[in-house]
A and B are shown apart, each in its own frame.
Chain A
């Protein structure tokens, strides 16, 4: 059984991280009927929207009638299923709550669904709770107007960690604290995702063998970048990359990727001037195999970049999310793509007695000729993949 189900909170006390919201919803149900007959809980996935509805039903001794995204929700279906539900009293419980999950999932296919839903809500003698990830979709605007909007926030990583620890206790398992922190941070507020990760990891025989290295590495580089970009340059900055378990070449790419996120104008210019010098020393090391230049590479990359900020400016404390360097990946992807181009150019070059390099540089015009003529494709002995490449390329333009 998935832990997300097994450990789903049953009562208010077990709900974590959404306390102010709970009171609000409770009020709504207690004071029902009010002017607005429905509330709309909205926020990112995995933060407890549906769970809250169930917990409150439990709390107020209500039966839940749920209609979720997997049901067809067009006008007729709603009339057929939802309407009777709003007209029938609960047989076992005192009250009843109608839960319409993921209203932003009511699609174009469910024609007339939203209008019908609202009209049912209007006449419903029971409180209606709706949930949605994104309420700013245009088609939801009538719903926005007629429901009480309640926004749920992402769950703080410390809370996520606490929840995980209590689950582990119940499951009688142990996982290293560092790993827990990592899962919690990685989840970015999505508790459900974190619990799923936790279960997966706990099922691995020896959790320390899983590759959390990659994530540790990233926390290190994030912290170092933060120091370089956000703090005043001190001599400590000289050692800022020492603890990062990456080669200096890799670190250069990280710095390069993220300079524009932090600096602009004169600062940007100074930072790039220093990055440029860093690269020059790198080039000199390669060419002359004179490794002492590494010192200058290091200093320019750490202190050099850090001191690029205006000295009289206030130190920034805002949180910046740093990006992973994408350039290497892009180059790799591009090489994959040009692979076909090269093989076509090679076949063509041999056939018409020119050099491959020239065929490559004249490729746009050659391509036009080859792609429109299947006879030529046969002549050059192009394979299916190469032909597909020619056709695909032409779509992009």
Chain B
């Protein structure tokens, strides 16, 4: 069964339990809960792209059939502006009763671990207030970031990272349906570029296929490397070579273009130090400076000023100081 969408992550999203790949145990238990037409609150924990949202969607489609849209609310904790907005939306949604033979509606709260512990306390009260009319499905990357009172109210399911063979099967199936030419080597590269995230695998595949139906390892590599910012190295190269003006200009460009934060830049710089053509002694010194800059970014108000100050250290390092 496929969806009509042109976006493959949607088109090939499993829409019945038996299509879900790699989470057999979870699927079995969730399916029997769903069949009883009564589910508890659920907590889905696990890495991105392992099927948490997919399973939530299958549950509501099984429960409500064609009316699922009226009985399902999807929220993303990291996108909503604070717990109050979430509570307001829940309140509005929960005010009307569910239609049909299921006595509750379902609220899926994605990335629930983005909520602060205080916000989670508020969420817990909301869950209690509407427990007659609503079931919550929470998803998170780490269940440890969810406060105990919420955990104890939920049935917890831990999703595993998909195994390589599962991902291979998914890619293979899509490649057949879309009439793509692909070899095992290319699949391997897609899998590695995705860090086990199935959604990302499919996106890489479609992105590559948008250029050519012949999915070669080279093409896949190009697509993947184009999506990673590698410009921090260029910034440091300018600094080491003594061109401070150019270095800071590029740094600002990178930060704006890729919309990355000062702390992300620091992380990248810290990793890049070890590839620089300078003495071991200086590498240690630069690392220390980088740590100091990170500290100052937290303490100060303008990360770009702190990063410029750090770049000067690299200019001096280029002079052997």
Which positions in A face B, CB cutoff 8 Å? 252, 256, 260, 264-266, 268-269, 272-273, 275-276, 278-280, 282-284, 286, 327, 330-331, 334, 338, 349, 351-358, 360, 362, 364-366, 368-369, 372-373, 375-376, 379, 397
Contact A282 B302 (CB under 8 A): yes
Query: Chain A residues near B312 (CB, 8 Å)?
Result: 268-269, 272
Q: Tell whether A282 pairs with B7 under 8 Å between CB atoms, given A268-B315, A334-B256.
A: no
User: 13 pairs across A/B with beta carbons < 8 Å?
Assistant: A252-B302, A279-B300, A283-B299, A349-B76, A353-B57, A353-B74, A355-B110, A357-B78, A362-B203, A364-B227, A366-B207, A369-B7, A373-B210
Residue in A closest to B10 when the chains form the complex, CB atoms = A352
Counting CB contacts under 8 A, is B118 at the interface?
A: no
Contact B7 A351 (CB under 8 A): yes
Counting CB contacts under 8 A, is B181 at the interface?
A: no
Contact B207 A365 (CB under 8 A): yes
Counting CB contacts under 8 A, is B98 at the interface?
A: no
A64 to chain B, nearest CB (A): 48
| Top 7 A-B residue pairs of the complex, sorted by shortest distance between their CB atoms | A283-B300, A283-B301, A364-B227, A276-B309, A272-B309, A372-B210, A334-B256
Which positions in B face A, CB cutoff 8 Å? 5-7, 9-10, 48, 53, 57, 74, 76, 78-79, 110-111, 199-200, 203-204, 206-207, 210-211, 223, 226-227, 244-245, 248, 252, 256-257, 259, 296, 299-302, 304-306, 308-309, 312-313, 315-316, 319
A365–B211 alpha-carbon span in the complex (Å): 12
A397–B223 alpha-carbon span in the complex (Å): 13
Contact A276 B306 (CB under 8 A): yes
Residue in B closest to A270 when the chains form the complex, CB atoms = B312
Contact B299 A352 (CB under 8 A): no
Q: Tell whether A379 pairs with B6 under 8 Å between CB atoms, given A269-B316, A360-B259, A362-B203.
A: yes
A286–B301 alpha-carbon span in the complex (Å): 8
Contact B244 A280 (CB under 8 A): no
Q: Is the interface of A mostly helix, strand, loop or mixed?
A: helix
Q: Tell whether A279 pairs with B305 under 8 Å between CB atoms, given A260-B248, A268-B244.
A: yes
A338 to chain B, nearest CB (A): 6
Query: Chain B residues near A366 (CB, 8 Å)?
Result: 203, 207
Contact A356 B210 (CB under 8 A): no
A26–B248 alpha-carbon span in the complex (Å): 52
Contacts beyond the supplied A252-B305, A275-B305, A351-B7: 13 A-B pairs with Cβ under 8 Å: A260-B244, A265-B315, A276-B296, A278-B305, A279-B300, A279-B301, A330-B252, A352-B10, A356-B78, A364-B227, A365-B204, A365-B227, A369-B203
Residue in A closest to B253 when the chains form the complex, CB atoms = A330
Contact A356 B79 (CB under 8 A): yes
Query: Chain B residues near A372 (CB, 8 Å)?
Result: 210-211
Residue in A closest to B53 when the chains form the complex, CB atoms = A353
Query: Chain A residues near B78 (CB, 8 Å)?
Result: 355-357
Q: Tell whether A379 pairs with B53 under 8 Å between CB atoms, given A273-B309, A365-B207.
A: no
Contact A355 B256 (CB under 8 A): no
B245 to chain A, nearest CB (A): 5
Contact A334 B299 (CB under 8 A): no
A110–B207 alpha-carbon span in the complex (Å): 49
A357–B256 alpha-carbon span in the complex (Å): 16
Residue in B closest to A334 when the chains form the complex, CB atoms = B256
A266–B315 alpha-carbon span in the complex (Å): 10
Q: Tell whether A280 pairs with B10 under 8 Å between CB atoms, given A334-B257, A362-B200.
A: no
A351–B7 alpha-carbon span in the complex (Å): 10
Query: Chain A residues near B299 (CB, 8 Å)?
Result: 280, 283-284
Query: Chain B residues near A351 (CB, 8 Å)?
Result: 7, 10
Residue in A closest to B48 when the chains form the complex, CB atoms = A358
Quick one: which of A268, A276, A338, A364 contacts B305, CB cutoff 8 A?
A276
Query: Chain B residues near A269 (CB, 8 Å)?
Result: 312-313, 315-316
A106 to chain B, nearest CB (A): 37
A227–B159 alpha-carbon span in the complex (Å): 64
Quick one: which of A265, A268, A282, A364 contacts B301, CB cutoff 8 A?
A282
Query: Chain A residues near B10 (CB, 8 Å)?
Result: 351-352
Query: Chain B residues near A369 (CB, 8 Å)?
Result: 7, 203, 206-207, 210
